[in-house]
Amino acid sequence: MTPSKNKQPRPWIRPLPERLVNKIAAGEVVERPASVVKELVENALDAGADRIEIIIEKSGAKQIKIVDNGCGIVEDQIEIAFSRHATSKISEFEDLDRITSYGFRGEALPSIASVSQLRMVSRPADAEVATEIVYEGGVLHSKQPVAAPPGTTLEVSNLFFNTPARRKFLKAESTEARHVSRVAMALALGRYWIGLTYSLNGRKVFSLSPGQTLGERVSALLAPGKKFIDVSGEMGPIRVEGFVGLPDMAQKNRNSQFIFINGRSIQSSQLAHAFALGYGELLPRGNFPIGALLLTIDPTEVDVNVHPAKTEVRLSRDREIHDTLYRLIKEGLRQDGLMPTLRMPDRTPGHSDTGSERSPRDWPSHKIPGIAQRAGGNTEFLDEIYKGVSPAAEAAPGVVRVDTATGEIMETEPSTAEPPSGSATSLDSLRLIGRFDDLYLLFQAGHELLVVDQHTAHERVLYEEMLKKMDNQGGTAQQLLLPVQVEFSPEQMIVFEEAREGLIHSGFGAEPFGGCTVRIEAVPSILSRKSPEKALRTVVDDIASLRKAGFDLTKAIAQSVACRSAVMAGDRLSDREAVGLVEQLRKCKNMYSCPHGRPTFIKLTRTDLDKQFGRG
């Protein structure tokens, strides 16, 4: 018999009324007045407006008014715009993977309308009259033709009037005003060529004319009259337009830091980290650089569908993008003569010697022990470096030729494989002139001195090779004569199970052998000088740390194997090895940094040195 306490009315499942759904959605999309400003101005921008006015009263709690000269909405579409999931911006499933508009969810207008009193007046240029529509807490109040110029005006009054809990949560007016102002500034910077005026509580905060350059706008908004440095450039997966402040303009908070991906202002601690890192030692501790960085990335590599507010994005090549941004900023500052090259900081991600604010929590390299120092020789890596590289075979047009007798790399023709010009460094026409402390290899390239870190450079080379091999599911394996067993902790066993397939692709032959025991039959040949047991244990531990730091599994495996097999500080390379290493490095997709983001080389120019010695 069923106990009587279960005799409750049978739950009845039914869809929620649309108004309630909109109000629930508003909880996510409309956090505060600033969110309304963001959504409405983004709509105006998506509508092609090039002049937009933002008028805010009582920090947005009383009224938010946005006037645009965009395409307007035709009369019979206006109500559709206020129904949930109605959008003109995407229509197909595939569109979600290549979003180029700000909006795509089709929920901002219905959400805002459901928690405010909203009036819209809209007129496409070819319509004779405008249409006015009024909503009260999501309920249609009136709709009528009115006279108005082309474009759209939105007035959102008494936000959260029908959600008292939310209204109570609004912070002091000054706090809300700060949020609104930041949003207005971000919109003005992200679309720096648009005319934008912003008035707050009866005071005109800024009035920016259309057609400005990014430099002009950054200066107008962040520090009028001050010099900003152009760090624009194109490298690998990204194009950056950016203007950044001098180190002495840095602030104690990130309020004047603006980072955009494809025009969208985003919050990203990783990119903010790259921004600061570019300044190296020039930035006093606890300070944050100011400026605006507009990154353009192939939209198929950016997932903006992470959160309804769209201020977070997922990047499929986040490490590479971080590294590239860092390099561009550093190079931009250096070219401006700001970066005294001999003091070149290189407090790069893997250097754990500072404990400064910028030593990032999100960098896994700290957690990888033994990355830098190991004494003792190691020549096996040579086999890897020289695999398939015969100097004679290099004499093809556009490819450098290595003279192994002199250690010189001679260019035959301009290489097509070079990174874009400008801030990029060529590794062509290099001549090995020495080595320092069995860690840094010194090369002369014209009037430049290149200092190559043999460990990070080798790590980069091995990492890219390993990724390629894993992609073809064929890391070269060294079979063991006698299989060995390794006993894992339960945590390690979980990591091993998750990584097993990838480990096999990297060259490990390993399978569970009951409980937490794993039987190893083969190891990647580049790791074969380690004991198989130790090799697998170390790699599994590295993978665990890298996974925690958010790395993709394949990359984590490749990073660990590369790091563990790379030549170390203290390993003495012959001339041929040194030249071979750089030759391999220049073929890498990203020759500038190791997979952890530390530089593979730095450059000192003749002028840099002359300056240091007071030669003009």
Ligand X SMILES: Nc1ncnc2c1ncn2[C@@H]1O[C@H](COP(=O)(O)OP(=O)(O)OP(=O)(O)O)[C@@H](O)[C@H]1O
- 11: tokens are 């739950």
Which among Mg ion, ligand X, none contacts residue 294 (Cβ within 5 to 8 A by kind)?
Answer: none
Which among ligand X, Mg ion, none contacts residue 512 (Cβ within 5 to 8 A by kind)?
Answer: none
Shortest approach of ligand X to residue 71 CB, angstroms? 5
Shortest approach of ligand X to residue 116 CB, angstroms? 14
Shortest approach of Mg ion to residue 106 CB, angstroms? 8
Q: Does residue 70 bind ligand X (CB under 6 A)?
A: yes
Which among ligand X, Mg ion, none contacts residue 88 (Cβ within 5 to 8 A by kind)?
Answer: ligand X
Stretch that binds ligand X, among 9-17, 42-50, 455-463, 584-592 (CB under 6 A): 42-50
Residue choice 33, 103, 190, 595 for contact with Mg ion (CB under 5 A): 103
Q: Does residue 43 bind ligand X (CB under 6 A)?
A: yes
Residue choice 79, 88, 346, 541 for contact with ligand X (CB under 6 A): 88
Q: Does residue 106 bind ligand X (CB under 6 A)?
A: yes
Stretch that binds Mg ion, among 72-80, 96-104, 178-186, 195-203 (CB under 5 A): 96-104
Q: Exposed (0-12), middle (13-18) or buried (19+): which is 314, by Cβ within 10 Å? A: exposed
Classified as helix, coil or strand, 313 is coil
| H runs (alpha helix) in 47-172 | 78-81, 108-114, 164-169
Shortest approach of Mg ion to residue 68 CB, angstroms? 12
- 425: tokens are 């460094």
Are 382 and 526 contacting, i.e. CB atoms less than 8 angstroms apart? no
In the block, residue with structure tokens 């500052």: 333
Per-residue x/- marks for ligand X, 150-189, CB under 6 A?
A: --x-------------------------------------
Q: Does residue 43 bind Mg ion (CB under 5 A)?
A: yes
Shortest approach of ligand X to residue 159 CB, angstroms? 16
DSSP result, 426-452: ---S-EEEEEETTTEEEEEETTEEEEE
Stretch that binds ligand X, among 8-16, 81-89, 205-213, 562-570 (CB under 6 A): 81-89
Q: Does residue 54 bind ligand X (CB under 6 A)?
A: no
Distance in angstroms (rounded) separating the CA atoms of residues 111 and 497? 44
Stretch that binds ligand X, among 51-59, 64-72, 296-304, 579-587 (CB under 6 A): 64-72
Interface positions, 335-374, toward ligand X (CB under 6 A)? none
Of 106 and 483, which CB lies nearer to ligand X in the complex structure? Answer: 106
Distance in angstroms (rounded) separating the CA atoms of residues 123 and 152? 6
Stretch that binds ligand X, among 36-44, 284-292, 406-414, 491-499 (CB under 6 A): 36-44
Distance in angstroms (rounded) separating the CA atoms of residues 430 and 407? 9
Taking Cα atoms as reference points, which of 154, 88, 68 lies closest to residue 119? 154
Distance in angstroms (rounded) separating the CA atoms of residues 453 and 598? 9
Interface positions, 107-126, toward Mg ion (CB under 5 A)? 108
Of 103 and 391, which CB lies nearer to Mg ion in the complex structure? Answer: 103
Distance in angstroms (rounded) separating the CA atoms of residues 349 and 371? 12
Of 111 and 506, which CB lies nearer to ligand X in the complex structure? Answer: 111
Are 559 and 546 contacting, i.e. CB atoms less than 8 angstroms apart? yes
Shortest approach of Mg ion to residue 463 CB, angstroms? 41
Q: How many residues does the chain have?
A: 616
Shortest approach of ligand X to residue 277 CB, angstroms? 33
> By CB under 6 A, how many residues form the interface with ligand X?
23
Which among Mg ion, ligand X, none contacts residue 608 (Cβ within 5 to 8 A by kind)?
Answer: none
Taking Cα atoms as reference points, which of 376, 307, 368, 585 lies closest to residue 463? 585
Shortest approach of ligand X to residue 122 CB, angstroms? 6
CA-to-CA separations, 229 to 292, 323, 419, 556, in angstroms, rounded: 10, 19, 22, 35
Q: Does residue 107 bind ligand X (CB under 6 A)?
A: yes
Q: Does residue 25 bind Mg ion (CB under 5 A)?
A: no
Q: Does residue 557 bind ligand X (CB under 6 A)?
A: no
Q: Does residue 103 bind ligand X (CB under 6 A)?
A: yes
Beta-bridge partner residues of 478: 523
Of 118 and 581, which CB lies nearer to ligand X in the complex structure? Answer: 118
Q: Select the residue whose beta carbon is closest to Mg ion and give its number.
A: 103
**Within 10 Å of residue 485's Cβ, how many Cβ atoms?**
13
Residue choice 19, 89, 366, 529 for contact with ligand X (CB under 6 A): 89
Shortest approach of ligand X to residue 210 CB, angstroms? 17
- 107: tokens are 């929920």
CA-to-CA separations, 109 to 25, 59, 70, 101, 544, in angstroms, rounded: 11, 20, 16, 16, 44
Residue choice 27, 57, 104, 500 for contact with ligand X (CB under 6 A): 104
Q: Exposed (0-12), middle (13-18) or buried (19+): which is 375, by Cβ within 10 Å? A: exposed
Of 108 and 154, which CB lies nearer to Mg ion in the complex structure? Answer: 108
Distance in angstroms (rounded) separating the CA atoms of residues 333 and 158? 47
Shortest approach of ligand X to residue 40 CB, angstroms? 7
CA-to-CA separations, 312 to 267, 303, 306, in angstroms, rounded: 6, 9, 6
Q: Does residue 419 bind Mg ion (CB under 5 A)?
A: no
Taking Cα atoms as reference points, which of 61, 91, 84, 79 lies closest to residue 122? 79
Q: Does residue 127 bind ligand X (CB under 6 A)?
A: no
Q: Does residue 55 bind ligand X (CB under 6 A)?
A: no
Are 506 and 469 contacting, i.e. CB atoms less than 8 angstroms apart? yes
Classified as helix, coil or strand, 217 is helix
Beta-bridge partner residues of 438: none
Residue choice 55, 71, 302, 523 for contact with ligand X (CB under 6 A): 71
- 17: tokens are 């009324």
Stretch that binds ligand X, among 87-95, 167-175, 218-226, 262-270 (CB under 6 A): 87-95
Angle at the Cα of 31 from the Cα atoms of 29 and 35, rounded to 5 degrees: 70
In the block, residue with structure tokens 């020789």: 377
Of 88 and 251, which CB lies nearer to ligand X in the complex structure? Answer: 88
Interface positions, 392-421, toward ligand X (CB under 6 A)? none
Interface positions, 259-278, toward ligand X (CB under 6 A)? none
Q: Exposed (0-12), middle (13-18) or buried (19+): which is 429, by Cβ within 10 Å? A: middle
Residue choice 25, 26, 34, 44 for contact with ligand X (CB under 6 A): 44
Taking Cα atoms as reference points, which of 262, 257, 250 lies closest to residue 272? 257
Shortest approach of ligand X to residue 248 CB, angstroms? 40
Are 551 and 559 contacting, i.e. CB atoms less than 8 angstroms apart? yes
Q: Does residue 72 bind ligand X (CB under 6 A)?
A: yes
| H runs (alpha helix) in 449-523 | 454-471, 490-506
Q: Contact positions toward Mg ion, by CB under 5 A?
A: 43, 103, 108
Q: Contact positions toward ligand X, by CB under 6 A?
A: 39, 43-44, 46-47, 68, 70-73, 81, 86-89, 103-109, 152
